[in-house]
């Protein structure tokens, strides 16, 4: 019993839970008009600036993180979330992992609204997932003396560069959400801390907090002025 409880407490159930929710939503959309149907996407909460700004549907900043356009979109995102999420959740713990995930996803959607096509419809967990890559970059900066952290940060850093280049070259990819997610994850890692590995300098945590607040305010300002 104790072993089962310990396994449950230390298992990646937040990562698995997010994946399950994404696939459940995708299944519902598939049988209710199709995941690539514009009306279905809007009905289930895709990010669309006119509805958010004019109708006050800010909940779409969260719901849009659980909506995917087509089978390839969700499979690619969920496979990536599984492997990166396992690592981040094991290092930061369940609730800090969840905070980082939603912080990156929401900020990614905000920046997409602020800088992207105002009439474009966007959806997906990419911003949140790229935020987890940003978390690893923060770990590499703060704990580069740790061989495992250093190697993982380098490998994932290379992957991020390649993924961003692919985002720029391909059409229909929300580059703004990806870059913003990385930035939010990087700063958010300092904010929440990772005591399982070591301490983070208080000045870095304060600077990251101030930077995040300013970035969120700037995004809101751009949304209402563009």
Angle, helix 202-225 to helix 94-115, in steps of 10 degrees: 30
Q: Look at residue 161 and tell me whether its pLDDT is greater than 90.
A: no
Comparing CA positions, the residue from 142, 156, 176 lying closest to residue 83 is 156
What is the mean predicted confidence (pLDDT) over 107-119?
A: 93
Burial (CB < 10 A; 0-12, 13-18, 19+), residue 194, is: buried
Indicate the average pLDDT of the chain: 90
Radius of gyration of the chain (CA): 18
- State yes or no: is 178 an active-site residue: yes
Q: Look at residue 76 and tell me whether its pLDDT is greater than 90.
A: yes
Q: Which of 68, 112, 167, 178 is catalytic?
A: 178
- State yes or no: is 90 an active-site residue: no
Global pTM value: 0.92
Q: Look at residue 172 and tell me whether its pLDDT is greater than 80.
A: no
Q: Which of 112, 126, 142, 167 is catalytic?
A: 126
Please tell us whether the domain made up of 2-225 is placed in CATH 3.20.20.370.
no
Say how far apart CA 219 and CA 217 lie, in whole Å.
Answer: 5
Extract the tokens encoding 71. Answer: 């089978």
Amino acid 3: pLDDT: 52
Distance between the two ends of the chain, CA-based, in angstroms?
A: 57
Residue 177 contacts residue 126 (beta carbons within 8 Å) = yes
């Amino acid at each position: 019993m104790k072993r089962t409880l310990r396994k449950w407490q230390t298992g990646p159930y937040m990562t698995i839970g997010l994946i399950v929710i994404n696939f459940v939503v995708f299944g519902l959309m598939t049988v209710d008009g199709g995941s690539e149907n514009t009306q279905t996407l809007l009905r289930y909460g895709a990010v669309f600036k006119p509805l958010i700004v004019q109708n006050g549907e800010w909940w779409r900043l969260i719901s849009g993180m659980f909506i995917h356009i087509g089978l390839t979109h969700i499979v690619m995102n969920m496979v990536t979330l599984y492997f990166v999420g396992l690592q981040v959740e094991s290092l930061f713990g369940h609730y800090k992992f969840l905070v980082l995930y939603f912080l990156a996803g929401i900020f990614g959607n905000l920046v997409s609204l602020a800088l992207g096509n105002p009439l474009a419809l966007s959806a997906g967990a990419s911003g949140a997932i790229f935020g987890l890559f940003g978390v690893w970059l923060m770990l590499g900066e703060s704990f580069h003396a740790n061989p495992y952290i250093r190697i993982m940060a380098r490998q994932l850093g290379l992957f991020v560069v390649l993924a961003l280049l692919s985002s720029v070259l391909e059409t229909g990819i929300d580059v703004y959400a990806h870059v913003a997610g990385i930035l939010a994850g990087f700063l958010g890692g300092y904010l929440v801390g990772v005591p399982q590995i070591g301490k983070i300098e208080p000045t870095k945590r304060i600077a990251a907090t101030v930077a995040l607040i300013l970035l969120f305010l700037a995004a809101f300002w751009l949304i209402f002025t563009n």
